[in-house]
Amino acid sequence: MTSGPDIAVVYEHHEWFKPLFAALDRRGVHYLPVRIDTHHFALDAAPPPAPLIFSRLAMSSFLRQGEHALFYTQALYDHWQRLGAEIINGNAALAIDTSKARQLSLIRSLGYGIPETRVVHRHADVLAAAEGLRWPLVVKANIGGSGAGVARYDTPEQLRAALDFGSVPMGLDQVALVQEYVPSDGQRIIRVETLNGRYLYAIALDSDGATFDLCPADACMVDKPTVTITRFEPDAATIAEAEHIARAAGLDIGGIEYLVDRRDGVRRWYDINALSNFVAKPLDVLGHDPHDLLVDHLVDRIQSRKKA
């Protein structure tokens, strides 16, 4: 009799996770892919699909599916946990991933720099929230992904016109961030990836400033010729901050992004991403494939679960 899978991988965007599935196959891991976009469940005592669940839910799934699973998945994970499953990047991580306001509040509470930000839940409050901030500004949807729901405004008049026209972003949860646009040298963004609360690698993303979509994975880079990616080596203080943020956010795996403010040299963390589908062409950029280290971690979690 064949035993069930050791781990289930919950995902929505098939192309993004081909490298992960290939790495699991290479190691001979007994896993079950679970498509969340077509999933449903019954509230009975049926067991979870595996004792260990690996969440690969993308915040940008609402861009591909009107009937997205962002909120459904949190109920599903809660249900599976009640039935004894252990979930990697479960609801603690999702609670942070689904709210940029929570992300920045967490980072600020740790004493680290963030862009100056106001949080609103009505379009009528956007202009008032912008008072005292330095222009230009960005308005961001609280739930975003792949740069969605972010707009830049250079003057109060430009923002007022967009409000009158009804084009200012507001999130799926009717929450938005009014935030100073932070100028960085060369439009450079640094993304620090962490695994199990520890530094994994970092990359620099340089663009012409024409896009807020800085997803670095293979499937994302097809239509983004204005973004270049290189390996980056942060200093010890930056690594320590990234690890502190990851642990405080409850991330088993995740990327945290920052930029260095050209106006004052302050490192400003602005995004926590629990997906981490890793960088395109990792052997060229990093010299190794981080999926191998990720699978090492998953195998360790599987073995620990079996011994428990």
- Give the pLDDT of the chain (308 residues) as one tens digit per residue: 358 999 999 998 888 899 999 999 999 999 999 999 899 999 987 789 999 999 998 888 767 766 888 899 999 999 999 999 999 999 999 999 999 999 999 999 999 999 999 999 999 999 999 999 999 999 999 987 767 789 999 999 999 999 999 999 988 899 999 999 999 987 899 999 999 999 999 999 997 765 444 544 443 444 445 788 999 999 999 999 999 999 999 999 999 999 999 999 999 999 999 987 888 889 999 999 999 999 999 999 999 998 87
- How many alpha carbons fall within 13 Å on the CB side of residue 191? 24
Pairing of strands 253-260, 228-231: unpaired
Question: Rounded to two decimals, what is the model's pTM?
Answer: 0.91
**Domain span(s) for CATH 3.30.1490.20 in the chain:** 117-180
Contacts of 84 (CB under 8 A, 6+ apart): 47, 48, 51
Question: What is the CATH number that goes with domain 7-95+291-307?
Answer: 3.40.50.20
What angle, rounded to 10 degrees, do the helices at 236-248 and 100-109 form?
Answer: 120
The top-level CATH class assigned to 117-180 is alpha beta
What is the architecture, at CATH level 2, of domain 183-288? 2-Layer Sandwich (3.30)
Distance of CA 117 to the CA centre of its chain: 19
Place of tokens 């991403």: 273
**Domain span(s) for CATH 3.40.50.20 in the chain:** 7-95+291-307
What single-letter DSSP state applies at residue 299? H
Pairing of strands 52-56, 7-11: parallel
Of 116, 121, 112, 122, nearest to 136 by C-alpha is 116
Helix (H, G, I), strand (E, B) or coil at 46: coil
